[in-house]
Structure 1
Amino acid sequence: MKKAIIVFSGGIDSVCAASFLKSRYELHGITFSYGQKASMELDTAKYFAKKMKLKQHKIVDISFMKDLYGNSNVLTSTKRKIPTKFDYSIVVPIRNAVFLSIASAWAYTLNASIVAYGAHTGDRHYPDCRPIFAKKLETAFNQGEIDGINSKLRKRLEIWSPYREGLSKSDLLKIGKKSLGDVIFNAWSCYSNKKAHCGVCESCNNRKLAFEKAGIEDKTKYVKKY
């Protein structure tokens, strides 16, 4: 079976993307601690890595990025308030490029065929989620390993995402629910770090809307349901 690396945050998008890929690939998960407020992501990623029996799961500490990011975004800054709907303050500068660079370095060493992340069609507000970004990054990475690829020491990588397949967040939820059942509600989406989803941040609101569109009863525990 071919190998795949998945950027595995413990969020509902990455968990469902892993569900989509698991029957076709030997999955290796990589989770990043980058100084995010929502450190609950890390525990959730560990939980799902075991639940889904990923071949390997690595948590990589790049928390030094919090200092570099400063107050540029609300996900790492302690001084900025998290909005209830999309605002560009949510965007962490080229976060996915940082994640995918490290994940791809690991992928080349394992001779994996793809590096996956959970970007979907609803992520159009985020430049580093768009297929054009993934394609250009894929080209650059393969160029950076072209001699190894041509000599058959490395496999050519594909940077894969549900977005590139035309899949929405609701599509992913249907896949994840079918594969994991109600366990899917344990996936963490919230930008805050409470014991339950806050229910009011942009990510919680997107989650609720996606379950509604998918026709799936949302059994997530929210501090504020509406």
Structure 2
Amino acid sequence: MKKAVIVLSGGLDSTTCMGIAKNEGYDLYPITFSYGQRHDREVEQAKKVADYFNVKHHQIVDINFFKQIGGSALTDSNIDVPSDGVEDGIPATYVPARNMIFLSLASAYAEVTGAEAIFIGVSSVDYSGYPDCRPEFIESMNKTINLATKTGVTEQALTIKAPLMHLTKSETVELGTKLEVPYHLTTSCYNGEEEACGTCDSCRLRIKGFKEAGLVDPIPYQTEIDWKA
């Protein structure tokens, strides 16, 4: 069976990628990063998602580097998580070079496992302004990993797949629902509490996506807000 490495955060988008990859006939090899984020909930939910898909092995990578350098509201306790609506420009929740580092490590894992694809749940539509969620970045990174890996230069090309790149959050939710993706196991909240805050950028985009899709979000929220991001 063909194999794919999935960058799995335990969130809505990466879990949708698990469902897409499975539907496309890939044997799933999820990789999750504990990168010094404010909470462990992402990793715990990623474990539950991996169990749901009955994967052979779930690779969890501990990277404390991002917490050491700070510079993001997701890794630095001195920077507040914004709660007043989705920010213009690059938000405080951007983690410096995160997806570039994640994809580099995922490509190493792909080489060892013999995977031919790497799935990542980035979107250039509902992406909160992150520069490492743009198609230009994915295209560039795809070229780089094939220049830098044994697999890329001697055997088969590695392909970075970003199937949500041109989908809105509502379109992502609709697709995932059709694929029976376990959204009840996912977390999107930047604050990482058992009940999502409902006010951070990620919560707002998720709420907006489910509302526009006409579907019920299966996770609980602390605060009911205007769903418009």
Matched, 1:122 2:126: yes
Contact 1:124/1:130, CA 8 A, preserved across alignment: no
What are the residue-to-residue correspondences of 1:148-167 with 2, within 5 Å? 148-152=151-155, 155-164=156-165, 166-167=166-167
1:197 maps to which residue? 196
1:102 lines up with 2:105 in the alignment: yes
| Bigger fraction of residues in helix | 1
Letter in 2 for 1:113: E
Q: TM-score, normalised by structure 2?
A: 0.89
Long gaps (5+) in structure 2: none
Q: Which amino acid aligns with 2:176?
A: G
Query: Is the 8 Å Cα contact of residues 116 and 158 (structure 2) preserved in structure 1?
Result: yes
Q: Report the Cα offset of residue 185 of structure 1.
A: 2.6
- Residue 73 of structure 1: how far off its partner (Å): 1.1
In 1, the alpha carbon distance for the partners of 2:211 and 2:151 equals 47
Give me the whole-angstrom Cα distance separating, in 1, the residues matched to 2:56 and 2:167: 25
**RMSD of aligned residue pairs (Cα, Å):** 1.6
Where structure 1 has 5 or more consecutive residues not aligned to the other structure, the ranges are none
How far apart, CA to CA, are the structure 1 residues paired with 2:58 and 2:151? 25
Deviation at 1:131, TM superposition (A): 1.1
Matched-pair contact (CA < 8 Å) for 1:131–1:163 = no
> In the alignment, which residue of structure 2 is the partner of 1:90?
93
TM score, norm. by length of structure 1: 0.91
Shift of 1:148: 4.6
Aligned to 2:147: 143
CA–CA distance in structure 1, aligned partners of residues 51 and 101 of structure 2: 25
User: In 2, Cα distance between the equivalents of 1:148 and 1:44?
Assistant: 31
Structure 1 runs (4+) greater than 6 angstroms displaced: none
Counterparts of 1:133 and 1:219, CA distance in 2: 32
How many residues are aligned here? 219
Query: Does structure 1 residue 218 correspond to structure 2 residue 226?
Result: no
* C-alpha deviation, 1:81, in angstroms: 1.1
Over the matched positions of the two proteins, sequence identity in percent amounts to 37
Q: Provide the residue aligned with 2:45 in structure 1.
A: 44
